[in-house]
Amino acid sequence: MDNPLVNFLRSYGPSAASDALYDELVRGEIDRLGVDEIVIPSPLVDEVGQILTGADPVNVVLTGTAGDGKTYNIRKVFLDFLKGPASAWPGSDVLVTHTLPNGRELRIIRDLSEVPAARKAEEIGRITNALLGHDTSAVYLVAANDGQLLKLWRDAADGGGPDAERHRQVYDILSEMMLHEVEKDPTGKLGLRLFNLSRRLTGTTLDSVIDAILDHPGWETGCSGCQIAADAERPCPIRLNRALLHGGVDGRSDRLFRTRLRELFEVASANDKHVPLRQVLALVVNVVLGDAKDPDVPLLTCGEARIRAQENAYSLTNPYDNAVGGNLRSERRQNNSMFAVLDAFGLGQETNNAVDDLLLHGRPEPVRAAVNDPDPHYGERLFETQRNAYVRGGPQGFNRAEFHKAIDAQRRRLFFRLPTNGIEPAAPGLAPWVLTVFHHGGAYLRFREAVRTGGDQAAVKSATRDLIRGLNRTLTGMMSDDSDQLWLAGTLGRTDDPTGRIVTVDPIPLAGGHSFLHVAVSHDKSRRRPRLSVQTSLKGMQLPEMPALDLRPILFEYLVRVAHGSLPSSFSRQCHQETRRFATLLTQHVLRFVNGGSSSAATSLGLLHITEAGKIQREGIEVSAS
């Protein structure tokens, strides 16, 4: 007996066919296979519904990239919130109409770019008048990819005609709203709520997708007649992978796998790596159904799952490899943004002595038991043959390529399985993030959350001191230990020679005190991550807008590694230049502020050197600006 849910999930998997899996086609698959749809909770449905059914409804535009769920959300608003008739969906020529509680007409366009050419100019004109308040007879609910949305109004404005100026006005306002990521027009000229779904995908979204797939009722009804569904010795690999991702096998409660997957997703998101909802679905499906036997057919059927169980071939269905697309051809992996993002973490390629000692010799024993006992089918059993051949050191039975492949897979698994005691690793050197290129990825997530919520200020201050030490080492070129004050150093001439380091402003302390300026970190609401800036320590004093250092994970990683001993310019040239540019701009702003806005006042020039204690000192020279 095959579970129809498995066949339905296969349609979501990482394949060329699923790349074109639009909401309308999903509905067709549901009807064909007789399964319930995958319901992913979306707070946006209620939010949009309330906007449209209020006493004074406002036009709503959903934008984002392909696969973000725009049509899904619009369908849910129409059918679930507005209780529109199912027979009216998906409508004719992508248009659905509905009468709102206040009697106005709601015009729903599920994809603005697909409006027939003969009607496009007329519809754009009607939407323009509705947005500007010139026509209040109808309210619009519209979906369009962000680039297409702007192109439609730009083309309408460039096309001339009596409404060209109105089209240009809408285009200019929409461009500004999208640039600054705001939902309401700050000028108040457009009656619009603009929701960018690309900005709404978070770690919570990944959790919602995992729950929607793994808790689907079809698992119980569809697997009830399968002979291997309850086999503990050789379990169905599909159900085994589902249990591991869900959070436990054999009665053990263990959510490490999905927690680490979510953390990878959040670090990538904070690095501005956007992944459409459709490809998040593909990731979860691939973890559960992935199979490495044939990369042209990378997902299990129920029949293939039974064969893998009978042959004890769990090395082919490894969910930790599936999580990074290890069962896919490299071109398919790179063409799927979700797997391309995860591939960039280098899971399986990064390691240290403690990790390899654990894998090769099982030390320390408590950690070996913690990572292997809950995972007997994908743990050390899969690595045992290659490990023993390597440890013996003899050529007999040892295949170097197979050994490296097997140990890479185990390192990858360890990232998802290594326990932590709160924040600290279970043993020295065994922090899971050392198995990625973001050694401080976990620290970044804790720092970001503490800055956002105002919690754990001791951790925030500790991380900020690391950031200041990293900035000082980057800007001065000297391995200083200064972490209580920021030196905005520049160079004499076009050189990176540390002997040419100069400053024109006093060092800015981490905390207030006698100085009227201090370094602080704060939460950037639009970018949803921390930023480092300079603030005033004096009550009632208003600072002009100062440049801020946008603390993306990659820049955080760079500065913390430099603070811990890496060389600034050789580690990351891009981050090195970014911090130098920040220091130059901030210096200019501080000088203007100190000099009361004047750019011609005397400047205090200082030459920097480092003391034996690792502290930076300055020798001052007075220079009058010409």
Residue type, 334: Q
Report angle CA 546, 547, 548 to the nearest 5 degrees. 110
Q: Is 435 exposed, middle or buried (0-12, 13-18, 19+ CB in 10 A)?
A: buried
Q: What per-residue confidence (pLDDT) applies to 19? A: 47
pLDDT < 50 stretches in the chain: 19-20, 251, 626
Q: Which positions ≥6 away from 207 have C-beta within 8 Å?
A: 258, 262
Q: What per-residue confidence (pLDDT) applies to 251? A: 47
- pLDDT tens digit string along 71-117? 889 999 999 999 999 889 887 778 999 999 999 999 999 999 888 88
**SS3 breakdown of the chain: % helix, strand, coil, rounded to 5?**
50, 10, 40
Token pair belonging to 572: 């990351």
Place of tokens 């950690």: 367
d(CA 476, CA 615): 11
Work out the angle between the directed axes of helices 457-476 and 441-453 (0-180°, nearest 10): 120
Q: Is the dihedral of CA 188, 194, 196, 202 positive or negative?
A: positive
Quickly list DSSP for 105-142. Answer: EEEEES-GGGS-HHHHHHHHHHHHHHHTTS--SEEEEE
Q: What is the dihedral of CA 158, 163, 165, 167, to 10 degrees?
A: -70
